[in-house]
Structure 1
Amino acid sequence: MVGLARDLVRLSSRGGIDDYERVLSCVEGWLRVRGLPCRRLHDTEVGDVGLLVEIAGGRPGPWWTLDACLDTAPFGDEAAWTFSPTAGDVLDGWLRGRGAADSKLAASLFCHLAEEVHGRAAELAGGLSVLLDVDEHTGRFGGARAFLADERAQTPAGVMIGYPGFDEVVVGGRGLWRARVTIHAQAGHSGSSRQVTGAISRAAHFVTLLDAEQLPGPDERFPLPARASVTAFSGGAGFSVVPDRVDLNVDVRLTPAFDGEAAAALVTALVRRLDTDLPAPAPTEVHRVACWPPFRLSPRDEPAAALLRAAATRGVRVRAKTAGPSNIGNLLAGRGVPATAGFGVRYEGLHGIDERAHLAELPDVYAVYLDALRDLMAARSASEKVPVSDHARSGN
């Protein structure tokens, strides 16, 4: 298991930067040597965006999916690393390098789980898909989108995503609403006797208005508050020109108490207030970029329940957690597919410098996922069928 993970970490596959062919070919070769059926998923803009393994059980039943990404975050400042970002070595029980934690070790683990399930498929019900996707760290989630759009793929009853973290099973996350806000103004010279209110001043006023908003806090349905932030700013050049345009990125984190419609209404209202407080030659524009719902499974909903049961049986102490950052689980929730978004080994430096994954927990993580799959894919009578959650569909 560690051998394949080391090979993958040594292959740079930064999202939106590197060619994904080498990392896809590495996994594809490993799967084919072991007789595991796999095929590539394709995106018309990006190209190949993932590998899909599909293993049908010997009896009817729901299909379940394991998902781990093969692309990674950028390296950042390589001079700040104390080892190579593509080291792919093991030191003092840690697998080191970009992607070791997120999520090449999980990809290797899921490949080995696929091999084990394939060997006993005849006695299992339903089926298992293993999605090994790229284009995840770009934020486009191209591999996951291609999987969901593939007419040949089985629609999963639930997905388990291999993000790391040993003490928690992530069962939910805030959603997001994102937009680009274009703010106009009259251009001018900074030294002119005629003073103008430039686009930067108008943008600062909008940020002040947004920061002053009190968004809903946690409640009995969801343990995290909604949040709104301006995360990028573009406009102006030099020193003497007062700019006539500024573009802002607005990121709103959603909860059941503050959904995408509420986020859109808030930003629209603030834009109107901006244009009233500081009139400009053209109205401020809002261009929505993305909207994903929040999701949260209860500990009784599958596949979260199976993971929690398996962990308890193995003596692994975990808690169900709702995460602040959004992830593929939100994309899946928008399609009505329940998901867990994290259970794996301990880690350090995820998306930062000196990323590494702790290997001591790997046998326990493997055993928990295997037990969960055996539970979910066990042949049952009609009265014993595993209940499929509708929590993701409602966003609660």
Structure 2
Amino acid sequence: MLDPVELAAELIRIRSPSGSEGDLADFLIRTLRRFMDVERGPLGAVVGRLQRGEGPTVALEGHMDTVPPGDEASWSVAPYAGAVEEGLLYGRGAVDMKGAIAAQIAGVAAAQREVQGTLYLVYVTHEESAEGIVLGRVFEEIGLPDLVILGEPTDLRLGIGHRGRAIVRLVAKGRAAHAAMPELGVNAVEKLLRELPRALQRELPRDPLLGKGTQAVTSVSTPTSGPIIPDRCVAEIDRRILPGETRDSVLGTYKGLELEVGIAKGELRSYTGEAFLVEYFFPAWVFPPQEGFIQWAWQALGRPPFRIWRFSTDGVMSAGVLGIPTFGYGPGEESLAHQADEHVPVGDIARAAEGYRKLVTRMGELSRIPLRRGGLGG
């Protein structure tokens, strides 16, 4: 039987920043091969499959990548030691989300003979860079499951949705000139600085479950340096969006500014060498607590409180784009993610493993529950 805490510590010791998850993928493939079929999927994802008889198709999902540790001197415990101190497992990814991956694997290993239907374990790359994109590619290959269970941290509560995310690019254009003769040019930086406060004063929508939409400037850049009046300046705004918001409605928020406005796009590269394009628009999603499959999970897990995440997850693809019934359950408090001294109680990892075991052993019950595609997505 797999010990979820020992496994989580091993996962933490394998560095896996976005785009460099290959060593962790290799380790997970070796681990999963002990009790299920497994392969390397699109863009370096790890896809395990276990089928027993007829029944629903369920995917337990997580991401292998982590953010960097930042200044390691700010940690009181080395970020990749996988050390346990006073009942807490420390390390980058302990909360987000190697503790959950270990718990999922241990829970499925314990329940493998009780699976009724088809069970996938899906571990993706580049979630921290562009949530949902790699998961979508995996589903293109294996088909859409009936239910997705996210392992993102919920503090062992039941996650039923969150706001979406869009990166909005505001571009100011000017005219270059020598900095000694600024009157001959049009300074794009100054133009952006005039317009940016107007952008940040725009009214944003509110949702009764997910709360208020927010926006935050995350970068300001210009391609020029030296004694040149810049002819271009770009700001990026992290917009947290609500159900019903579309690309057009988000961009319409900034109508009337003397700036070019668009959704940011970029290219990412997997550790396998595959490059892929990303548009940074990830819709919101939420399922009401009274939904049949949410009630099934609530009962199976012992009636935990419900939770709305403050950050974004791969649910933007499974629920927000594809409309697949989706919920989340995992160890760890989300506010500790990405921080120095990230940690999770070892008891919560063990309890999460037991929770996943219960969900897997009861997955046959889902055949009697309507699993409608939809939810309140973007």
Q: Could you tell me the TM-score, scaled by structure 2's length? A: 0.86
Q: Is the 8 A contact 1:307 1:372 kept in 2?
A: yes
Please name the residue that 1:388 is paired with: 371
Cα separation, 2, equivalents of 1:253 and 1:347:
17
- Deviation track 1:102-156 (CA, whole Å, cap 9, x = no partner) reads 11121111112222332233xx2x2211112222222265541331221xx1421
Moved over 6 A (4+): none
- How much is the aligned-residue C-alpha RMSD, in angstroms? 2.4
Question: In the alignment, what sits opposite 1:340?
Answer: 327
The equivalent residue for 1:132 is 123
Look up the SS of the partner of 2:14 in the other structure. Answer: coil
**Is 1:120 aligned to 2:114, yes or no?**
yes
1:370 aligns with 2:353: no
Does the aligned pair in 1 maintain the 2:75–2:340 contact within 8 Å? yes
Q: Distance in 2 between matches of 1:342 and 1:188?
A: 56
Quick one: distance in 2 between partners of 1:344 and 1:206? Answer: 43
C-alpha distance 299-87 of structure 1, shift in aligned 2 (>3 A): same
- The CA distance in 2 between the partners of 1:310 and 1:379, in whole Å, is 12
Larger radius of gyration: 1
For 1:227 and 1:164, how far apart are their aligned partners in 2? 22
The within-5 A match list for 1:311-326 is: 311-312=301-302, 318-326=304-312
Per the alignment, do residues 309 and 6 of structure 1 end up closer, same or farther by CA in structure 2, a change over 3 Å counting? same
Judge which range, 174-183 or 243-252, deviates more: 174-183
Note the C-alpha offset of 1:23. 1.0
- Establish whether residue 212 from structure 1 lines up as the match of residue 188 from structure 2: no
1:300–1:165 CA distance, 2 compared to 1 (3 A): same
2:8 maps to what in 1? 5
Q: Distance in 2 between matches of 1:191 and 1:50?
A: 53
- Mapped to 2, the partners of 1:193 and 1:163 lie a distance apart of 51
**Structure 2 CA distance for partners of 1:347 and 1:263, relative to 1, 3 Å:** closer
8 Å contact kept, 2:165–2:284: yes
Report if aligned partners of 1:348, 1:357 keep a CA contact under 8 Å in 2.
Answer: no
Q: Of the candidates 174, 185, 192, which is equivalent to residue 185 of structure 1?
A: 174
| Cα distance in 2 for residues equivalent to 1:254 and 1:346 | 22
Question: What number of residue pairs does the alignment pair up?
Answer: 360
Separation in 2 of the partners of 1:132 and 1:21? 12
**Who is 1:291 aligned against?**
281
Which deviates more from structure 2 when the two are superposed, residues 92-101 or residues 133-142? 133-142
- Conservation of the 8 A alpha-carbon contact between 1:347 and 1:357: no
Q: For residue 51 of structure 2, what is the aligned residue in structure 1?
A: 56
Match among 162, 165, 171 for residue 151 of structure 2: 162
Q: Following TM superposition, by how much is the alpha carbon of 1:167 offset from its aligned partner in structure 2, in angstroms?
A: 5.2
Distance of 2:356 and 2:290 partners within structure 1: 17
Structure 1 residue runs without a partner (length 5+): 44-48, 276-283
TM-score, length of structure 1 as denominator length: 0.83
Task: Show the counterpart of 2:316.
Answer: 330
Q: Residue 177 of structure 2 contacts residue 185 of structure 2 at CA under 8 Å; is this kept in 1?
A: yes
8 Å contact 1:346–1:361 — kept in the other structure? no
In the alignment, the residues of structure 1 paired with residue 176 and residue 135 of structure 2 have an alpha-carbon distance, to the nearest angstrom, of 44
Aligned: 1:27 with 2:28? yes
CA positional deviation for 1:195: 6.3
Contact 1:62–1:157 (CA<8 Å) still a contact in 2?
Answer: yes
Residue 14 of structure 1: SS of its match in structure 2?
A: coil
| Counterpart for residue 223 of structure 1 | 210
Aligned partners of 1:188 and 1:242 also within 8 Å: yes
Q: CA–CA distance in 2 between the matches of 1:155 and 1:246? A: 42
User: Contact 2:173–2:232 (CA<8 Å) still a contact in 1?
Assistant: yes
Deviations 1:274-316 (A, max 9, x none): 16xxxxxxxx363543222211111122543233212336xxx
The higher relative CO (CA closer than 8 Å, separation ≥ 6) is in 2
Gaps of 5+ in 2: 266-279
Residue 299 of structure 1 aligns to which amino acid in structure 2? P
Do 1:158 and 1:338's aligned partners in 2 also have CA atoms closer than 8 Å? yes
Q: Whole-Å Cα distance in 2 between the matches of residues 165 and 237 of structure 1?
A: 44
Bigger shift: 334-343 or 7-16?
Answer: 334-343
The within-5 A match list for 1:64-83 is 64-83=58-77
Pick one of 261, 274, 277 that aligns with 2:258. Answer: 274
Alignment partner, residue 309 of structure 1: 299
Structure 1 residues 77, 197: closer, same or farther in 2, change over 3 A? same
Whether contact under 8 Å (1:309, 1:372) holds in the other structure is no
- The residue type equivalent to 1:187 in the other structure is A
CA 1:295–1:349 in 2, change beyond 3 Å: closer, same or farther? closer
SS of 1:252's equivalent in the other structure is: strand
CA distance in 2, matches of 1:260, 1:376: 36
Q: How far did residue 246 of structure 1 move?
A: 0.7
CA distance in 1, matches of 2:281, 2:292: 25
Q: Which residue of 1 aligns with 2:276?
A: none
Counterpart-to-counterpart distance in 2, 1:183 and 1:142: 29
Distance 1:237 1:155, change over 3 A: closer
State the alpha-carbon separation in 2 of the partners of residues 348 and 139 from structure 1: 20
Partners of 2:366 and 2:233 in 1: CA distance = 59
Change (3 A) 1:129 1:390: same
